[in-house]
């Protein structure tokens, strides 16, 4: 099942609006190994912008948050493909990592190849075959 990443807003007691990502189904945080459903971005909007600079600022912050959402969704898609190829943590063999990259990279455009390599190295993945 593909994970859906949605950009959401929540009003704070201070009157600001905070932006966060909502994952469904929840995803596993690689650092804590726990499932998470929300990821707060630390980006805040003005609740009722009156001035032009406040409106522009809110628009820029929403665009920034949307870019983060798209990037996270892409990383989750790549991780799903890596799992699909039956990959497991623990690789120290560069040749295996290269073969893994060749198998997975053909499904993504060239601008994402560096991200795939970084994820393979971060997870230190090894194939089962």
Q: What is the pLDDT of residues 90-115, one digit of tens each?
A: 456 666 666 666 666 666 667 666 76
Q: Say if strands 35-45 and 17-28 run parallel, antiparallel, or are unpaired.
A: antiparallel
Q: What is the mean pLDDT of residues 78-92?
A: 61
Retrieve residue 94's tokens.
Answer: 């560069």
Please, which pLDDT band fits residue 71 given cuts at 50, 70 and 90?
confident
Retrieve residue 46's tokens.
Answer: 């003005």
Angle 78-84-88 from CA coordinates, rounded to 5°: 90
**Residue 121 scores a pLDDT above 50:** yes
Please, which pLDDT band fits residue 48 given cuts at 50, 70 and 90?
very high
**Taking the domains of the chain in order of start, what are their residue ranges?**
1-69, 85-129
Q: For residue 105, what pLDDT is reported?
A: 66
Terminal CA-to-CA distance of the chain, rounded, Å? 24
Q: For residue 82, what pLDDT is reported?
A: 67
Retrieve residue 29's tokens.
Answer: 């945080």
């Amino acid at each position: 099942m593909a994970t859906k990443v949605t950009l959401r807003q929540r009003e704070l007691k201070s009157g600001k609006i905070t932006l966060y990502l909502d994952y469904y189904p929840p995803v596993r945080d690689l650092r804590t190994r726990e499932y998470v459903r929300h990821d707060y971005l630390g980006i805040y909007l003005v609740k009722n912008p009156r001035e032009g600079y406040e409106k522009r600022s809110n628009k820029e912050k929403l665009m920034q948050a949307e870019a983060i959402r798209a990037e996270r969704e892409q990383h989750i898609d790549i991780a799903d493909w890596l799992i699909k190829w039956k990959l497991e943590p623990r690789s120290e063999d560069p040749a295996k990592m290269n073969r893994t990259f060749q198998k997975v990279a053909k499904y993504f455009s060239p601008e994402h190849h560096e991200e795939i390599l970084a994820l393979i190295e971060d997870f230190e993945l090894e194939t089962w075959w």
